[in-house]
A and B are shown apart, each in its own frame.
Chain A
Amino acid sequence: MTPALKTTDLTRSFDIGKRLFGPPRARVHAVNPMSFEVPTGETLGIVGESGCGKSTLARMLVGLLPPTSGQIEIEGRALDRADPAAFGRLIQYVFQDPVSSLNPRKTIRQIIEAPLRNLHGMHGPALDARIAELFDAVNLRPEFLSRYPHEFSGGQAQRIGIARALAASPRILILDEPVSALDVSVQAQVLNLLAELKVKLNLTYLFISHDLAVVEAVSDRIAVLYFGSLVESGPAEKVFATPRHPYTKLLADSAPVVGRPLGGAQSGELPDPLNPPLGCAFATRCPRASDLCKRAIPELRVVEGDQFAACHHPLAP
């Protein structure tokens, strides 16, 4: 079966210190060659720390940012030209900050109408019927349609954001930290809604978050990013329970958990992107680092079954 989403050697670099004429002063590789697949109906969770390339990857996948090289395939069709309108019917984005993703000077109806009119040429009664259906799907009351974004709480605004994304009838949703701006008690409302919609509409999700426990709870598979590269991927129940890459282990140990003493407090920071290390990017922080690690970049390969890690000396389970 063709996967819903497939990337092949997708990369993106940015020019730093652009000049009016001539070449830029330096280049930073925000996303190193990245290949993965998401089968239809599954959720791929993506975790990593700030600056590791999560959002760059997400923006490429929806066509907001052209890749430097590599390919994106959606349901077997390659999408190479970064054109949000072409991508829009297949893949949509739910933003982190629910309030700033809604134009403060438009009513909710105008916001939801935009994708329906522009991407599907809908109007008249069909448009109204579809809006009512969408609002019903995200449990919002129809009288909200004539209001403005500032009148809503974070959780409600995020549901409006989800309704807007669904309006395009996409096959895939990219959820970029969809609940991190919300209160814990409201967070679960939105997550459960997303889970319901996925089954009902047979959607495929890419769920990006820095909250490991949330990612683990909602994902089928999890991919861990570090410094622009995929360092580990595997089934959700295994990745944090039995991490194979030392960085994943550090992440799992650092998460504050009730009933566990403070731990995982290890110093060290991300390498300088302008001056990337020769070998493994984690070597300066890694307790298992060897000479080989400092010389050669480890490739992502199978460790056991369907768990992959990019490490010369993966951990035993």
Chain B
Amino acid sequence: MSLFLRLLFRNKLAGFGAVVLGLIVVLALLTPILPLHPPNETNTANRFLRPLSDGHLLGTDHLGRDLLSRLMWGTRLSLAVGFAAALVAGLLGATIGVIAGYFGGRTDNVTMRGIDMLMAFPYILLALAIVAVLGPGLFNALVAVAVVNIPFFARNIRGVTVGIAHREFIDAARLAGMGNTRILLTEVVPNIVPVVVIAMSTTIGWMILETAGLSFLGLGSQPPQADLGSMLGEARAALITAPHTSIVPGVMILLIVMSVNLLGDGIRDALDPRLRSGALSRPMAATRVKRAEAPAPKGDGLLRIDALETQFHVGPRIYRAVNRVSLQLDPGECLGLIGESGSGKSVTALSVMGLVASPPGVITGGAIRLNGQDLIGAPYELLRSLRGRKVAYIFQDPLSTLHPLYRIGDQLIEAIRVHEPVSHAEAHRRAIKLLEDVRIPNAAQRARAYPHEMSGGMRQRVGIAMALANDPEIIIADEPTTALDVTVQAQILALLDDLRRSRGLAILFITHDFGVVAQLCDRVAVMYGGRIVEAGPTPKVLAAPAHPYTKRLIACVPELGAGRRALAAIPGLPPAVDDLPPGCAFAPRCEKARDSCRAGEIALDGDARQVRCLFPEVTP
């Protein structure tokens, strides 16, 4: 809760809205005990008194009634009606949405078609029609405003409920013996309450405005009772001669609606988990750099990463995702980067082209040299011209790089023409060739397909074709086969291996699978807690791992063909990178750990074969 308030008030406009609305609500609540004239007391002798006249702070209206008093009572009424309408619309709409979304099928079909029909009418027309049927009156206006807003809530909440109803914890609740009603009340509803609150807080302003509108037309509150809309309506006749009678309620409506909307937006932002972690600002085009100075190059190579440090600064916490990582990639070489979830593989890969999201990502040290040119802190224009043309990425989920609404052929053509000014026909020819290169059968015809029309394996081939579009020198593949079936994985690996040999591509291959590394990579680097702990030629590392972590990780992976057996495990968990222990990060899980392991920084020793351990399993 206090977190919620802090987030809310971080947004200054929302804080302002909250203060203004708070004042108005307090005044409205206190109205009955404030020393005001009775709101309906007429005194025709004092008609249209100007503001600041004696005894009438805001003047009087066409019947000589005190405007301040009418304003306060009117505000009280308008607020009450607006809140009530929002509550009714929210509750009814949410109930309909939850039921339609949860039960699905025919229930869903029938109710949602009904809701669609309601939505087909113009908003205000529908409200007018409802009041026309029920007769004028404040309560009927409330009903009308609530009814026209129900579809909005029903649609929104239905969408959210559908998402929740397919989550596994709902199935788990069923298996725990709960009935539909219990599941709805105890599993579904608590998860949609924030959504209902967000929807209400962002629409309540409109509902107050709509009620005022109906009253303005004489369909809401009936004379002599004052609400903000009817005050405006009555003042209309004297708009020119006594403008203050319109301005007073008008300004109040403006203040209420504005403050409600500002506050509503603030509540939405504070409750939305996507906006919670980072700032509200737009991500930067390239990762932020805060580096003292570039380390001297330690060698050459097509791509050289030297002592790279990438961190995430979230509030007071610093996550050292990549901690002085050095790697080298030569032309035509395949380097495997292996490690468990959260070890920093992806962040290392994304740092190369400045693709780590900023905020919260910051590159705080090191150098990344492509053909000798340092990319860290390079101007965005340079990075953009290199992305795709020199260094291309393949991700685990090809859908993240493919646009769902364009044909894959057109996307390939677009990718080619971004970096090269060739004719459309030429680009098209090349696109087909690329699809053939990645062994897509019937390439010319498949080029007209949309991404969702292809299987996972086919999509990943298109992802590879996109990466190859501009003949890059380096491909960085981040777990490109993890989401695929084994037979498809074998096809993709064979394809990558082929392309590497036929085109001289250098590949940085990220994975957590030793089998894949063994089959594809010349060299391998093992990451743990943001650091490289071991590196060397693949066959040597796999046959005689030197770091205790590598050795035990390999032992955890069951191999096919050995039959039923017990599996080795590493007790404990990988370290959290915002709280790394001093010394060896593996020490808490290592059987060989001694005091010296926990004392201080341990260097990555060796040349072609490197290991970061005081007591390695074998001397490399």
Q: Which residues of A approach B to under 8 Å, CB–CB?
A: 18, 20, 49-50, 59, 62-64, 84-85, 87-88, 92-93, 95-97, 100-106, 114-115, 118-119, 153-155, 161, 164-165, 167-168, 183-189, 191-192, 195, 210, 212-214, 216-220, 236-237, 240-241, 250-267, 269-270
A213 contacts B560, CB within 8 Å?
Answer: yes
Residues of chain B with a CB closer than 8 A to A188's CB = 556, 567-570
Q: Which of A187, A219, A259, A266 makes the CB contact (< 8 A) with B564?
A: A219
Partner pick for B176 among A96, A118, A251, CB 8 A cutoff: A118
Return the chain A residue nearest B563 by Cβ: A237
Question: In the complex the two chains form, what is the Cα distance from A260 to B559 in whole Å?
Answer: 12
Chain A residues near B106 (CB-CB < 8 A): 20
Residues A217 and B457 in contact in the complex (CB < 8 Å), given A97-B168, A119-B176: no
> In whole Å, how far is A230's beta carbon from the nearest beta carbon of chain B?
18
The answer to whether B167 touches A100, judged by C-beta atoms less than 8 angstroms apart, is yes
Q: Does B178 contact A (CB under 8 A)?
A: yes
How near does chain B come to A252, taking the closest CB pair, in angstroms?
Answer: 7
CB contact list, B553-573 vs A, under 8 A:
553, 556-571, 573
| Stretch from B245-253, B281-289, B510-518 that touches the partner | B510-518
On chain A, the residues within 8 Å of B175 by CB distance are 62-64, 84, 87-88, 92-93, 115, 165, 168
**Interface flags, B139-175, vs A, CB<8A=1, else 0:** 0000000000000000000000000000111011111
Secondary structure of the B contact surface, majority rule: helix
Q: Which residues of B contact A255 (CB under 8 A)?
A: 486, 515, 560
Q: A49-B485, A269-B455 are in contact. Are A262 and B494 (CB under 8 A)?
A: yes
Query: Contacts A97-B168, A114-B177 given: A266-B493 contact, CB under 8 Å?
Result: no
Interface residues on B, range: 35 or more
Residue B190 at the A interface, CB < 8 A?
yes
Given the known interface contacts A49-B487, A236-B563, A254-B486, the answer about A183 and B171 at a Cβ–Cβ threshold of 8 Å is no
In the assembled complex, the Cα of A188 lies from the Cα of B553 at a distance in Å of 10
* Chain B residues, Cβ within 8 Å of A261: 519
Q: In the assembled complex, which residues on chain A have CB atoms less than 8 Å from the CB atom of B359? A: none
Q: Decide: A213 and B519 in contact? CB cutoff 8 A.
A: no
Task: Tell me which of A167, A219, A241, A256 contacts B516 (CB under 8 A).
Answer: A256
Q: CA–CA, A240 to B560, complex, Å?
A: 8
Pair A258/B559 contact, Cβ less than 8 Å: yes
Q: How far is the CA of A99 from the CA of B364 in the complex (A)?
A: 33
A7 CB to nearest B CB, Å: 18
Smallest Cβ-Cβ distance to A113: which chain B residue: B176
Cβ–Cβ contact A217 & B567, under 8 A: yes
Residue in B488, B518, B542 whose CB lies within 8 Å of A256 = B518
State whether A265 touches B552 (Cβ < 8 A). no
User: What is the distance, in angstroms, from B269's C-beta to the closest C-beta of chain A?
Assistant: 20
Alpha-carbon gap, A212 to B557, bound state (A): 11
Decide: A103 near B178, CB < 8 A? Known: A49-B486, A216-B558, A256-B515: no
Cα distance A93–B552 in the bound complex, in angstroms: 31
Residues from chain A with a CB closer than 8 A to the CB of B574 are: 183, 185
Contact B487 A115 (CB under 8 A): no
Q: CA separation between A155 and B493, bound complex, in Å?
A: 29
Pick from B187, B485, B563, B567: contact of A210, CB below 8 A: B485
Q: Is the CB of A252 within 8 A of B566?
A: no
Contact A192 B518 (CB under 8 A): no
Choose from B176, B179, B559, B573 the contact partner of A213 (Cβ within 8 Å): B559
In the bound complex, do residue B571 and residue A118 qualify as a contact, i.e. CB atoms below 8 Å apart?
A: no
Does A118 lie within 8 Å of B178, measured CB to CB? yes
Q: Output the nearest chain A residue to B496 by Cβ-Cβ distance.
A: A262
- The contact of B558 among A115, A165, A183, A217, by CB within 8 Å, is A217
Could you tell me if A93 and B564 are in contact, using CB atoms closer than 8 angstroms? no
Flag whether B491 is at the interface (Cβ < 8 A): yes
CB <8 Å contact, A218 and B485: no
Q: Is the CB of B515 within 8 A of A192?
A: no
Residues of A within 8 A of B191 (CB): 103-105
Assuming the contacts A49-B485, A84-B177, asked whether A213 and B558 have C-beta atoms less than 8 A apart, the reply is yes
B515 to chain A: closest residue by CB = A256
**Docked complex Cα distance between A87 and B560 (Å):** 34
State which residues 161-209 of B face A: CB under 8 Å.
Answer: 167-169, 171-179, 187, 190-191
B446 within 8 A of A: no
Within 8 A of A (CB), among B427-470: 439, 441, 455-458
